[in-house]
Structure 1
Amino acid sequence: MLFKLHPDTPKFQVFVLLNQELIYFLNKSIKQKTFGKGLFSRKLVGRACWSNVKSSPKKNDLTRDKFQKLFENLKSETEATREQLHRIVVDNQDLSSFFLTPNPALLGFLHQNTFNAFKVLAAHLYGATKDLQPIIDAAGGVNIHEHFEAFRTDTLNGNICKSCGMEKLAPFRANIGVENQWRADYDHQLCKSKYPLFAVHPDNLIPLCDVCNQDAKKAKDLFVAEDTSLRYSFYPFTEEAHSYVSLEIENLRDPNPSVKVSWNTSDSILINKLDTWDNIYEIKNRVEGEFYNLDQIVDNEIQPESYTEFEHEVSRKARAISDSTLKSKPWAYWYHKFFCVLDSIDKDAFWERSKFVQSMAMDGGDYILSVQATS
């Protein structure tokens, strides 16, 4: 994460309750011989999960059906294995500890059919069960739309993606109620297809922008690199990357100078986490792509008519930026970092190169127009 989450970020109580119900079910499944109502708690959530069943063979399986298929597969495992599964889920509720010592093969002891049934249930709990009204009622009446609006308030996390700082979580529309506002998808930091035990863990689900969640991350594993080696990742509630990021302007006098992103730490664990963050969300490629044309960036941002104005505006944009701006303006962090770098280099050389490139472009344009006029 570029910025850690605000410490007062509210937990989505629907996920809290569903996570508790899943743990309850796994515990009851250790000894119980047949699938029945006793596998579910007597609370509103347990009753809602039991009651949510398909009404005919042609209907898609609902929550109870998904639980039943997991139970049937658990019965093919030994009692010791069922106890192990329950113990692992209970012992790994503190996600900060899991991020500190990750174990991607946590459920490797399960038969593949059992794991697949667990995965299907996990996806259904997140995708459909969370929207059951009795469960929302049990969670104080706060549904996922209301939780999202609370999450992105300016006094907490703001409407900018905490992972990249580049995109809004979702546009806010005037004259539209909470239920009909657009919202960001909740990203599973530990993807539910590989870590189904965390599918509805409230600390595992974080709203991210579409680019981070759908285009960049997809189903990438935070803790397993492409070469299958173990890697580490920032824990979003307590860790952040922004202090360890550097921007440099390379080839300043060339026709096309470029911005390069690098890490300003020698700590091997931090570098590993920064590399993971970059790999998961394509941070370097996105930033370096944004600043592909530096002359256009300068023209768009300050539109200088003289070197004096250019120098003054660059220095102004390099001044300290408030947290409220970082939370409300896309790319604010990255543009501020760019202008800080631009303010620290030989601005006169940058200006002269920029004016030379622009004059060449104008001369080329005049030449093309003159050729067209005589042809």
Structure 2
Amino acid sequence: MKRLFTLFFMIALVVTQLFTTASASRSKKWKQLDEPQILLSVSRPASGSFFKEGQSPTVKVVLKDTKGKPLLPGDFATLNLYLYGPEDQSKTRTAVELLNAETDRSKRPHHYIDLLTNPEVEADGNVLRYRLNPVTSEEPGTYTASLYAVLKESSLIQTMKLANLQIKTATVEKPVVDKVKCAACHEGASNGKLYLHHIDPTSRGLGSWSLDYVPVASCKSCHNQDGYAAYNNPASPTGKTPDPIVRRVHGVHMGEELKNPFNTDPTTGDFRSYTGVIFPADVKNCTVCHVDDRWKTKPSRGACGACHDDILFGEVNGSLPAPMRGHIGGPQANDLACSTCHPADSGGVKAVAEAHKVPPAPMNEALVSMTPPGNGKFYVAGETPKVTVVIKDDKGNPL
């Protein structure tokens, strides 16, 4: 059943992409209609390449509408500034000291700056400036400032802008996932928006589609090792535990294969809304999403445990309730020894690539084609596109 579902999902995806090409001109119009042309930038470091300890970056925001005309802060319902880094997911956290942001989750705002209400914001017409605190104990690396903006006129008119800056090093870190990878499955055919969690309408409005604007860069604004996003956890002293993007993405894509009742309980499970998800590709195939080999060269408890959620990496006192089991290599207080037992390609107890070896596809191929539009660009009223699907078995014989 799962194989059939996956097959038909991929057929639907191919058909969607065919329609996407035909509707490219309309897609551009939609993008221009619902995205303010806001400019976000960070001041240039004195060294020219990175900010040193004691230096204070300044974030600059230029407010413009969808046609490029100036807007004032009063035209916006939301103007939230986030800052996180470094890029390495195990170290990524909201830079609350630089932001001078509140960390108490019972207060608002926390882990971000509300540019509409913060008294430290300098406003000059449609230009806003916010001076960050001096660099102190932050980890070296690539940091990202992000701005979530929503117009009062309509909550559908919104955007998420990003600007990178270097802290204590000129070496630019590369992201582990690129927007193009996510867009292959999640991009809307008619509007170019990414259909992820926040696009759904909620009790608070018509959805926050721009929060997923550039996955996973925009997502990490909240989802990091100590960011705005957190999940309920009775075991935590505060009742909340930060929800890093690696846990969220791996958990959602693992979907129906999650095992931990904390995640799967139909009433209280943290991933209860996603336990019906079936990953279109083989969930072992990390390269579907990852842009490089870090999925196998840098194993970690957080990344691996997000999919293998039935494994406890901590101390096991007595027996564990099914389906939980203790880590076969014993308790692990950190990730330093992960690659010793789980090297990238071979050796160890079980190499990562070996554990993630993808079995042959159940079918050689499914060929999908569609008659082109009469004008060669897009379908018009009255046209009836014809979709042809040819499914072949492992030997190439049509089924």
Q: What's the TM-score once normalised by structure 1's chain length?
A: 0.26
Higher relative contact order (CA 8 A, sep 6+): 1
Structure number with higher helix proportion: 1
| TM-score, scaled relative to structure 2 | 0.25
- Larger Rg, first or second structure (1 or 2): 1
